[in-house]
Structure 1
Amino acid sequence: MGESTGGLEGEAYEHSSQKVFNDLAESRMAIELSLRPGPGGVGTGFRVDPEKAQACIDELTAVVGDLRMSAFGGLRLAFASPATDEVSRNMAECAGLMAQRAQDWLAAWTGQLEGVRNALQDQLAAYRAQESENARSL
């Protein structure tokens, strides 16, 4: 279990995990939208900071990699019953089921984060392509 938490246990692991999510929260502001007044004072556009967007993509990539590494390596967890009575066997079976559900949830969440990262990559690529096209047309 120590390997899946990067060698951190208890409070140290919780603090490390919280730091990752705090860093991600800051990175979410990677694409700064700021309305610029156009003709008649109406907001007509937005500004994207490509470096911050790329930093967000890089952070999401790192988080996804860490989550994939900490998902018990895709192992099927099983718990040995401490005794042969029905309660002990049931406890071990339920513990295994809960562990599997946790792994499934983690895999689904990791997939969602990958989807967000991929969408950000696509949007950033489209933004950069449009910027290049705009620069050529000036």
Structure 2
Amino acid sequence: MPALNHLIVHAKDKDASAEFLAGILGVEAGPQWGPFRPVQLSNGVTLDFIGTPNPSTTHYAFLVSDAEFDASFARIRNAGIPYYAHPNKSGPGEINHLYGGRGVYFEDPNGHMLELITKPYGDYPG
């Protein structure tokens, strides 16, 4: 079965974005590798940040354990990073409890919307 290996993430400041994500997730950003600054996830997938003058933004969701959520969410709050219950920035200062888990949305320094969830999505909650 095919497996995702890496994604290239365009950012104005690849180092700031890589360090930001690594800091929130409690991992180390990897050393420069060619034009990229990688952040490796526990499943072996890397997000390879690359500097781009005018990057578009996108959304990245991370499935984390309850303990990882607690630690990452504490880092978000302690850093004073605005967070939301929903991707349209509704529910400021709140988390969601969809699918029997917890979720939160916040932006990285480049404006990418990042999401932490403790349960994978199921049927649309309608």
TM-score by length of 1: 0.25
TM-score by length of 2: 0.27
**Which structure shows the bigger proportion of residues in helix conformation?**
1
Q: Which has the larger radius of gyration?
A: 1
